[in-house]
Amino acid sequence: MANMTRVSNANMMSFSEKLERFSWPIFISICAVLGISVLVLFSAGGGNWQPYALSQLLKIFLGLGVFFFAAFSNIKTWIKSAYVIYAIALLFIILVTFVGFTGMGAQRWLSLGFINIQPSEFIKIALVLALARYFAWMNSVELTQFKNYIIPLIMLFVPFGLIVAQPDLGTAISLALISLGIFYIVGANKKWFIIAAILALVSAPVVWFGGMHDYQRERIITFINPENDVQGAGYQITQAKIAFGSGGFLGKGYLSGTQSQQSFLPEKQTDFIFTMFGEEFGFLGAFFLLLIYTFIIIILFWTAKTCRNRFGQLVCFGFMLNFFIYYFINISMVLGLLPTVGVPLPLMSFGGSSLISLMFGFGLCQNARIHKDQQLSSKGF
């Protein structure tokens, strides 16, 4: 009877009650990073709102609308539509293969007439939703049976293969890591991960010689020895290190980064925005940004831990992993700790697809927090 009362109360929750459960610390943290993003993009435009800062500001307002819609809607809406959202995201990935257009050497974008989107950003959130829906009501015995992972593996490998072919290795790797993380947390047999690691190592030579483009192999070689071709393949990472290192402890000052303002730093508004931020605000500014990111991760983890329903737990954990992979790969890449791949810095890099998908994910996590005490039944879904 007590459980039924909690379910009824959750279903009849008023907006003011939802607002009381709203996590203001994570919302303020998100807004802080978005504000920093606009400041840095204003600087990237040479102290002008065009071409980056104003456009990003409009995308932020759109993202906030998506965030609040996802946060305050009924959690059952997302349970019921999880597979549909995944199917739509996958359809967009397939359309990119046939009618997508190429930018920065990869066929990743799809034109909807009034806007261009990068579907690979949305498939990550869609996959988290679909896997959370799939695993939410399985018992401990079912979660140890390999047959119950065949459908999730298909859910992973279909978009994974399509994204690799674009080519977008960074996003494909992120998709695989997110899925493996969810498999691990739900209780997949540990020996399966060992087998997967062995298969990955065995297949590495095949991937290197037959599955990678020349420029991808060049990036890995450059990562090992960037000084080998500082004017060619190693130019990006060399300039990034110079820019970040020249910032020192306090930075060169806002609008005063020499490498970025004089256009030595490539892609300063997208993949290498952390380097530009470090040049102007120094180690102290970069450390502060990392503290905010870490704080967001901690709140997402705590939300997942305190959520009483499995669906909300898995959504929060999957998105937390997605967010962490985003900034870990990007920052490691621009500092020369990982090979260069096309992964944006979350909430910071210029672009709409990444921003909107992230705000949708944050909204879903807020939704899980608001409904954290709601006991969900698989009946009716």
pLDDT tens track for 108-134:
778 777 678 889 899 999 999 999 999
Q: What is the pLDDT of residue 5?
A: 40
pLDDT tens track for 305-351:
999 999 999 999 999 999 999 999 999 988 888 887 778 999 999 98
Q: Is the confidence at residue 231, as pLDDT, over 60?
A: yes
Whole-model pTM: value is 0.91
Q: What is the pLDDT of residue 331?
A: 94
Tokens, residue 276: 């530009």
Q: What is the pLDDT of residue 242?
A: 87
pLDDT tens track for 31-43:
999 999 999 999 9
Phi, psi at 114, each rounded to 5°: -95, -10
Q: What is the pLDDT of residue 35?
A: 97
Q: Is the confidence at residue 304, as pLDDT, over 50?
A: yes
pLDDT tens track for 208-222:
776 677 767 777 777
> What contacts 26, CB < 8 A, 6 or more positions away?
296, 299, 300, 362, 365, 366
pLDDT tens track for 171-218:
888 999 999 999 999 989 989 999 888 988 888 777 777 667 776 777
Q: What is the pLDDT of residue 342?
A: 75
Q: Is the confidence at residue 140, as pLDDT, over 60?
A: yes
**C-alpha to C-alpha distance for 129 and 142, rounded to whole angstroms:** 19
Q: Among residues of the chain, what percentage have pLDDT more than 90?
A: 57
Q: What is the pLDDT of residue 6?
A: 43
Q: What is the pLDDT of residue 9?
A: 45
**C-alpha to C-alpha distance for 117 and 6, rounded to whole angstroms:** 40
pLDDT tens track for 246-259:
999 999 999 998 88
Q: Tell me the pLDDT of the chain averaged across its residues.
A: 87
Phi, psi at 37, each rounded to 5°: -60, -45
Q: Is the confidence at residue 7, as pLDDT, over 50?
A: no
pLDDT tens track for 33-82:
999 999 999 999 999 999 999 999 999 999 999 999 999 999 999 999 99
**C-alpha to C-alpha distance for 365 and 76, rounded to whole angstroms:** 14
Q: Is the confidence at residue 225, as pLDDT, over 60?
A: yes
| Tally of residues, the chain | 381
Q: Is the confidence at residue 379, as pLDDT, over 80?
A: no
Q: What is the pLDDT of residue 233?
A: 64
Q: Is the confidence at residue 230, as pLDDT, over 70?
A: no
Q: What is the pLDDT of residue 3?
A: 43
Q: What is the pLDDT of residue 106?
A: 66
Q: Is the confidence at residue 378, as pLDDT, over 60?
A: yes
Strand bridging mode 106-111 / 116-117: antiparallel
Whole-number Cα distances in Å, 180 to 189, 199, 235, 359: 12, 14, 34, 23
